[in-house]
Chain A
């Protein structure tokens, strides 16, 4: 109850004279922006927008949407920003409005709470007590001072802060507990802005990149002006064959000097100069293999003459056959750019793997050099003119790449501050509730009458219990 009356204070302040001036408009605006209704509206509308973002997949390729929803719907999605709803102007505006809302509310209501912690609340009249939600009237045998003292003692034991005023005809007491519940609510209100600020700083000054790295290579990190060497990448397996963890040993190099060395794994990143390196994924490289197994066949008889394992870019000499062969290239998904006359991998999937050999043949019947592509799925596709041999790609071991997420977020600590505020704030306001009690001890014919009343802004049920206990306690105070 009192929550409401205090909440309304700002609006029901005496407004002078008719006519709409700046002050009236300002009051209206502040009233609107501080209102609980706006907060509820924002909470729900943000929830609805967020729901849309989970039902419709975000940041997909156009054809994914067209396939699922049709072209017309996709056009609407683009117009409404539904393919990336969390970064639309309206979603951002909603978050901004939520910040304005909570800040205005804080500005509007917190000062009153702050003041009430120090205010004199004992100058009240009897009817005020009688109008409170919980009231009682108890005749007690004893003196005014004695009874008042007993009550004060009991309340102090219960953790109440008590103010007392002793006047000739009556004693007045005011007791309060749990103001932190209200302070907590406002702490939570402030946290919204803190978190959004942290997020904003992160999106302005931070970055997120994905790096596909190969063992043994050194990569330059331009945003940190240092180098990163991938010393090792490996996968650990469980007994049942599922992946247990995957790990990369990384070395940070600055001007050639080793600055830091760490083995990262999922859930354990390396942090250097504010840049975080996460073990994010792994996979088969699409442009390199460690080793490829090749059958050398006689073109005429189709008999396998020799099987050889070719190491990446290492020359192999087959003396018996008069051959030298080098594995020079690999693509996982063969594609040919006819304009540039270039072979490339159409995707990272191993859809149509092919290797390129550099071979030199010196036999009695033939002498030639060639650089044929050998296809895993189409062994007979290309013939090497003039050669005695045909090559067949039997298998290969792709090199594993390690996928590193590289990120910097200077706003993250601010987000953690805001997070702490929101959790502590909400916990305070949920578990602690503000209670206020007023007493008047008025001497009568035999003994005194204690008039008491109390109010809470929530948790009526426990407060009622407490109030009942209190009245019983006062009854037994007598002596």
Chain B
């Protein structure tokens, strides 16, 4: 039994706790007294929490940060284990580790977002996705979770940068997907009428929309960089920078999908609801690229 697996397990439980706390926070929270004046999306409501809400919110943040630290420790431990067993230290060398790394990046992104914009309700969606990623990783069969030596093709310094960059972009898209979902939830509440509690609890639509856009604007260049690094690696390992292998083709597909999104944002009518639906759709494509391709399509990346 690898020591890191215990830490990954702990991470899972902490994320579950954090997720639950954020959900609780959304429900306990009293509607903020001062809503931002219409047309001033930047003027955030100072979160007018009191009593339980403040405490639950604080605990949620603390648990999230603690979970993230546990996740970091798990990845470091795994890196040491890899050093001993497999001649590399990249703790993202198989599907399980990649998933754990993605949830690490998602949670890091969320924590930064929370500290910068002070909107805790996003946690109910984004920490949720980080938790699901970690959970899906731990559901993988044990043979996927070990630190077996790498196959020769993967044994290269390219794995450090190509994989981490690409996975980071996935995390950004996951975040955008979570925000898109949040947008749709709030938008639905708005259409239902002003009485809905969710309406008062969640940040206003324009803010969610902009944050989602920002996440994609981060993920898009990261994915481009990741794909190009992959091409460079392929040029060293496979004898050609592009061979239409399912994984690389799918990362191109995902990139094209977000490319269309970014161009769409420049035209009128592609903010808000449509953009939110699109972001969720894009995230589903990312999931397929990350998981589906490995399990459903064959190709050179089949070992990942």
Task: Contact check, B42 vs A4: say whether CB atoms are below 8 A apart.
Answer: no
Asked whether A455 is an interface residue with its Cβ less than 8 Å from the other chain, the reply is no
Cβ contacts under 8 Å, B293 to chain A:
54
- Which A201-255 residues sit within 8 Å CB-CB of chain B? 208, 238, 240, 242-246
Task: Contact check, A423 vs B42: say whether CB atoms are below 8 A apart.
Answer: no
How many residue pairs, one in A and one in B, have C-beta atoms under 8 Å apart? 147
Cα distance, A41 to B263, chains bound together (Å): 10
- Which A97-112 residues sit within 8 Å CB-CB of chain B? none
Question: For A4, A57, A245, A266, which residue has the most chain B Cβ atoms within 10 angstroms?
Answer: A266
Given A47-B256, A243-B152, verify A278-B217 contact (CB < 8 Å): no
Task: Contact check, A242 vs B148: say whether CB atoms are below 8 A apart.
Answer: yes
Given A4-B266, A266-B153, A426-B220, verify A464-B40 contact (CB < 8 Å): yes
Task: Contact check, A426 vs B240: say whether CB atoms are below 8 A apart.
Answer: no
Q: Interface segment, A62-70, A324-332, A407-415?
A: A407-415
Asked whether B17 is an interface residue with its Cβ less than 8 Å from the other chain, the reply is no
Cα distance, A36 to B42, chains bound together (Å): 28
Q: Which residue of A lies closest to B239 (CB)?
A: A405
Asked whether B231 is an interface residue with its Cβ less than 8 Å from the other chain, the reply is yes
Task: Contact check, A245 vs B155: say whether CB atoms are below 8 A apart.
Answer: yes
Cβ contacts under 8 Å, B189 to chain A:
none
Asked whether B287 is an interface residue with its Cβ less than 8 Å from the other chain, the reply is no
Given A43-B257, A461-B41, verify A208-B239 contact (CB < 8 Å): yes
B159 to chain A, nearest CB (A): 10
Task: Contact check, B207 vs A461: say whether CB atoms are below 8 A apart.
Answer: yes
Asked whether A23 is an interface residue with its Cβ less than 8 Å from the other chain, the reply is no
- Which A401-449 residues sit within 8 Å CB-CB of chain B? 405-407, 409, 412, 415-416, 419, 422-423, 426-427, 430-431
B259 to chain A, nearest CB (A): 5
Cβ contacts under 8 Å, B266 to chain A:
3-4, 7, 36, 457
A246 to chain B, nearest CB (A): 6
Asked whether B65 is an interface residue with its Cβ less than 8 Å from the other chain, the reply is no
Asked whether A193 is an interface residue with its Cβ less than 8 Å from the other chain, the reply is no
Q: Which residue of A lies closest to B226 (CB)?
A: A423
A353 to chain B, nearest CB (A): 27
Question: A430 is contacted by which of B40, B153, B220 (Cβ under 8 Å)?
Answer: B220
Cβ contacts under 8 Å, B43 to chain A:
464, 468
Asked whether B156 is an interface residue with its Cβ less than 8 Å from the other chain, the reply is yes
Task: Contact check, A423 vs B263: say whether CB atoms are below 8 A apart.
Answer: no
Asked whether B195 is an interface residue with its Cβ less than 8 Å from the other chain, the reply is no
Cα distance, A431 to B260, chains bound together (Å): 18
Cβ contacts under 8 Å, A53 to chain B:
244, 249
Cα distance, A427 to B263, chains bound together (Å): 15
Task: Contact check, A407 vs B239: say whether CB atoms are below 8 A apart.
Answer: yes
**From DSSP, what is the main secondary structure of chain B's interface residues?**
helix
Q: Interface segment, B6-14, B70-78, B94-102, B208-216?
A: B208-216
Task: Contact check, A246 vs B41: say whether CB atoms are below 8 A apart.
Answer: no
Cβ contacts under 8 Å, B207 to chain A:
461
Given A40-B260, A405-B238, verify A461-B214 contact (CB < 8 Å): yes
Task: Contact check, A86 vs B228: say whether CB atoms are below 8 A apart.
Answer: no
Task: Contact check, A419 vs B153: say whether CB atoms are below 8 A apart.
Answer: no
Asked whether B80 is an interface residue with its Cβ less than 8 Å from the other chain, the reply is no
Asked whether A459 is an interface residue with its Cβ less than 8 Å from the other chain, the reply is yes
B275 to chain A, nearest CB (A): 12
Chain A 252-290, CB within 8 Å of chain B: the 1/0 string? 000000000000011111000000101010000000000
Asked whether A58 is an interface residue with its Cβ less than 8 Å from the other chain, the reply is yes
Task: Contact check, A58 vs B239: say whether CB atoms are below 8 A apart.
Answer: no
B55 to chain A, nearest CB (A): 28
- Which B230-261 residues sit within 8 Å CB-CB of chain A? 231-232, 235-242, 244, 246, 249-250, 252-253, 256-257, 259-260
Asked whether B149 is an interface residue with its Cβ less than 8 Å from the other chain, the reply is yes
Given A267-B152, A415-B231, A419-B231: 4 more A-B contacts, CB < 8 Å = A280-B239, A430-B218, A461-B210, A465-B42
Q: What are 18 contact pairs spanning A and B, CB under 8 A?
A: A40-B264, A47-B256, A53-B244, A54-B249, A54-B253, A238-B149, A243-B151, A267-B153, A269-B236, A405-B239, A415-B231, A419-B232, A426-B224, A430-B221, A431-B217, A459-B217, A464-B43, A465-B42
Task: Please report A residues at the B interface, Cβ cutoff 8 Å.
Answer: 3-4, 7, 36-37, 39-40, 43-44, 46-47, 50-51, 53-55, 57-58, 86, 199, 208, 238, 240, 242-246, 265-269, 276, 278, 280, 405-407, 409, 412, 415-416, 419, 422-423, 426-427, 430-431, 457-461, 463-465, 467-468
